[in-house]
Amino acid sequence: MRPSRQSSRASACSELMTPRLPGLPTMSALMLAAMIAAALGIWGPFDVAKIKEWQSLLAACIAIGAAVIAYLAAKVNFERSLHEGENSRRSQNILIRVRYAAVILRANIAATRNRLQPAAVFGTTNDVLVKDIWIRWPPEFQEAWENLGVFGPRAVEMIVNVKYNLDLFDEAVARLDKAYRYDWAHMPEEIKAVVKLMKEIDTFIEDLLRAL
């Protein structure tokens, strides 16, 4: 799909508005002009015959100025590349921790679902204590939540969905009684709602792992 004229114009305007340092030749010329202006202000007009005597000194001053500018430019570029490298390593570390936490979270969800779903065998009952029903928002996911710019749009969408459904899960568990006893054919509706939320959370985590 072709970009619209407005987006192209906005991009062009953004490039024009982005501040850029002048190049080395421009900076050298500016320094020379400043030196000449200062000299004229202090000593008045130059005697052309005497300018030749100052050529070596001027050339040395210009060379020193150019060297200083080159050093400062190299220092800025080095610090920028160092900062970008640190950001890249930090982003990679966040991605690795989120993958690990996602796998652990899926395992916890599977274990909790198994506790809530009794075996489909006649006469088998399931005793459930609400205090045993829990799924925690991992600290790695909280770090991801605070650094969403590290992730692509699809991964961000899945992280948001996981957080939203975990909040719904906590609310649903808070409404449960302290304990339940039931068999596979008579699971309480409120327990079914909790199990459904866990399935949805698990699906979103699976999609998140694909998007990372």
The pLDDT tens digits of the residues spanning 165-189 come to 999 999 999 988 888 888 777 888 9
Structure tokens at 111: 């274990």
> Is residue 108 very low, low, confident or very high in pLDDT (cuts 50, 70, 90)?
very high
pLDDT at 11: 46
Taking alpha carbons only, the member of 14, 13, 53, 62 closest to residue 35 is 62
In this prediction the pTM is: 0.60
Distance, in Å, from the CA atom of 132 to the CA atom of 141, rounded to the nearest integer, reads 22
Q: Are 194 and 166 in contact (CB under 8 A)?
A: no
Q: What integer best gives the mean pLDDT of the chain?
A: 78
Contacts of 187 (CB under 8 A, 6+ apart): 116, 117, 118, 195
Three-state secondary structure string covering 31-45: HHHHHHHHHHHHHCC
Q: How far is CA 130 from the centre of its chain?
A: 37
Three-state DSSP state, 117: coil
Chain segment 20-30, per-residue pLDDT in tens: 555 555 665 66
Distance, in Å, from the CA atom of 170 to the CA atom of 165, rounded to the nearest integer, reads 9
**Can you tell me the mean pLDDT for 136-160?**
94
Q: How far is CA 86 from the centre of its chain?
A: 13
